[in-house]
Amino acid sequence: MYYIAVFDGNKDSSQSTNLLLNTILHELTFEYSIDTYCYEEELIQVIRENPAFYDIVFVDVPPDNTAPISLCRDLNALHMTARIVLISSVADYVFDGYDIGALNYLIKPIDRSKLKRLLYADYQSNCLSRKILVPVGAGHIQLSPDYIVFLEVINKTVRVRYEKDEEFLKSTLSSIKEYFEPFYFLQCHRSYLINPKFIKQIMRTSLIMTNGDTVPISKYRYKELINRFHDYLQPPRSRSSDSQSKNP
């Protein structure tokens, strides 16, 4: 599933963008979902609760109104993982786009072929490629780590918990743990491996995930979990800068 958000304070304009997106995505035969926001706080609240909720966010920037640019900075400050695409009828905010790390800058009227190429490339790079094959019984199964909230081992079965669904694999946590390490999954308990993108609250003995589930924290893993979660939240650029400052 390809999760898309459109922010546009103008209802008529947002409907036009949505229509174009729906038409193109239907042609590409992607499974997708589009949510539209007219008020900044509504989108901020969704991202605050789950920074990984969307794959891509389109933000419309009207002439002489930099509020949407500030919105993008607020979303980045919440560690939103979605790519940002700016849309505007003027080219005045191109450098702001660079500043916020926007994936692209589209000038109205939106070039249909350019948008189609953008969507196809983004989907291929960030949705299809981020899949792994993990051993299950005598074979393997394909999983998408970005959408997994946590893994829980129950006897010789691994429960794969998504935001609104789950599946069960005949495997053990120790046999599949290494496949999730590149995606920064954290072990908070001997029976759990969690995706830090979906952490909503950390308490002394448990975690509350964005889907409402509660996951236990082992007292022996609490300190390590906190340290690794801080590392996860630190922007990659900052980690690089710290490394350089320590090794002049």
- Distance, in Å, from the CA atom of 37 to the CA atom of 39, rounded to the nearest integer, reads 6
pLDDT at 244 over 80: no
214-216 vs 206-209, strand pairing mode: antiparallel
Distances in whole angstroms, Cα of residue 111 to Cα of each of 105, 115, 116, 117, 149: 11, 6, 9, 10, 36
Average the pLDDT over 175-197 and give the result: 91
Q: What is the mean pLDDT of the chain?
A: 88
Looking at residues 98-117, what average pLDDT do you find?
Answer: 95
Q: What architecture is the 132-235 domain classified under in CATH?
A: Beta Barrel (2.40)
Which pLDDT belongs to residue 129?
A: 57
What is the reported pTM? Answer: 0.59
- pLDDT of residue 103 exceeding 90: yes
Domain definitions of the chain by residue range: 2-128, 132-235
Output the six-digit token pair for 68: 């949407």
pLDDT at 185: 93
The pLDDT > 70 percentage for the chain reads 93
pLDDT, tens digit, 9 for 90 and up, residues 57-90? 999 999 989 999 999 999 999 989 899 999 999 9
- Interior angle at CA 167, CA 163 and CA 170, nearest 5: 145
At 149, list the tokens. Answer: 């909230």
134-158: per-residue pLDDT in tens?
Answer: 988 888 888 888 889 999 999 889 9
As assigned by CATH, the class of the 2-128 domain is alpha beta
